[in-house]
A = this chain, B = another copy of it.
């Protein structure tokens, strides 16, 4: 008996639907945010009924947590796939560019939580916090390397740079620019990267 038989057709279908639910939840989260997102919204978007949703996720909190964990995994993957030939600053820039493009494409940032409810929920979630710690370790390393090489301002505490870097991935200016100007996405990304690393004054 092949080990693959462990994954029956039914299990595969179950996994597929689970992913579809997470996709829908991610999309609704992006437009309405946690508090305004209802389980009916998600069920409707997937095309199933609410009780079926609860067969996959035992609560709204668990559903949202899993969706955000999946996003975080995407970010961690992205870090792993970075071209090793890049210097630390180029890596950080590439990663921020990726995050901005995900958002412009309708996705969520990997640091989405402005709502106190969601923030507390995630900080109690071990699975989520383990991934945050992993990602944070890697980014912290990049920041410190870049500071040593004088690619990032060595006069700033690493924490300040790291938190500000995270903040850029969920910068509301991105939404404003997309909504109120006719700038193409590529220009938005380019300008946001300039502002993040060179600041509003420029003249690097």
Contact = CB atoms under 8 A, between A and B. Distances in A.
Interface of A: 31-33, 35-36, 89, 111, 114-117, 150-157, 159-161, 163-167, 170-173, 176-177, 180-181, 183, 191-192, 194-204
Nearest to A167: B173
Q: How many copies does the complex hold?
A: 2
Query: Is chain A's interface secondary structure helix, strand, loop, or mixed overall?
Result: helix
Contacts of A200: 152-153, 156, 161, 164-165, 196-197, 199
Nearest to A32: B116
Nearest to A92: B200
B176 A171 contact: no
A31 B115 CA distance: 10
Nearest to A183: B157
Given A163-B176, A167-B173, A117 B36 contact: yes
Contacts of A197: 199-201
